[in-house]
Amino acid sequence: MSKHSPDADVTFIAALAELLNKNELTELSVKREYGPDDSLDVRVVKQNTVVQMAAPMMQQVAPMAAAPAASPVAAVEDPAQHPGAVTSPMVGTVYLSAEPGATPFVTVGATVSEGQTVLIIEAMKTMNHIHAPRAGTVKRIVVSDGQAVEYGAPLLIIE
């Protein structure tokens, strides 16, 4: 029998999930060896802003409580489902201004015209200007400056 604490394993898994979010990773796998017949395999995966933890643990570790189910209101507020969502046409890093410290291209409440640059996505060392697909008002900016985005990820909402 090992001398490690099941509570320490739960804390370790929570720390991995925090590390995943803090460093904008999509997946993290770790194997923790406690002894010859005692280990902890953890795989933390981030999908659509939901962090899932799959941890085949030894029997002495208590299972973690399940997260509460998403409310119907949360599903309605999903920015990817909003009809005014502007989504990423590529994988890359988002920049809200032309250079660090400069005024952002758009802010919440700003009126934009069709074709106006609303942000930049850097992909393969190339700065790609993302243009407003329609005229309207910026209701929400979903991403933050320097954030990594995937193809199809919501960037902002124009109504």
**At residue 79, what are phi and psi to the nearest 5 degrees?**
-60, -25
Q: Looking at the predicted structure, is the pLDDT value of residue 109 above 90? A: yes
Which pLDDT belongs to residue 135?
A: 94
Q: How far apart are CA 116 and CA 129, in angstroms?
A: 9
Average pLDDT over residues 120-143: 91
Report field, pTM of the whole predicted structure over 0.85: no
Place of tokens 């410290």: 101
Higher pLDDT, 78 or 99: 99
Q: How far is CA 111 from CA 108, 134, 157, in A?
A: 9, 11, 12
Domain with CATH 2.40.50.100 in the chain: 79-158
Instruction: Please determine, for residue 105, whether its predicted confidence score (pLDDT) is greater than 90.
Output: yes
Q: What pLDDT was estimated at residue 43?
A: 77
Q: Could you read off the pLDDT of 140-150 as tens digits, one per residue? A: 999 999 999 99
What integer pLDDT is reported at residue 46 of this predicted model?
67
Q: How far is CA 108 from CA 87, 142, 158, in A?
A: 16, 10, 9
More confidently predicted of 157 and 32: 157
Whole-number pLDDT of residue 66: 46
The mean pLDDT of 59-78, rounded to a whole number, is 47
Adjacent-strand bridge partners of 92 = 149
User: 79-158: which CATH topology?
Assistant: OB fold (Dihydrolipoamide Acetyltransferase, E2P) (2.40.50)
Higher pLDDT pick, 51 / 104? 104
pLDDT of residue 71: 44
pLDDT at residue 42, as a whole number: 77
| Dihedral angle of Cα 7, 11, 17, 21, to the nearest 10 degrees | 160
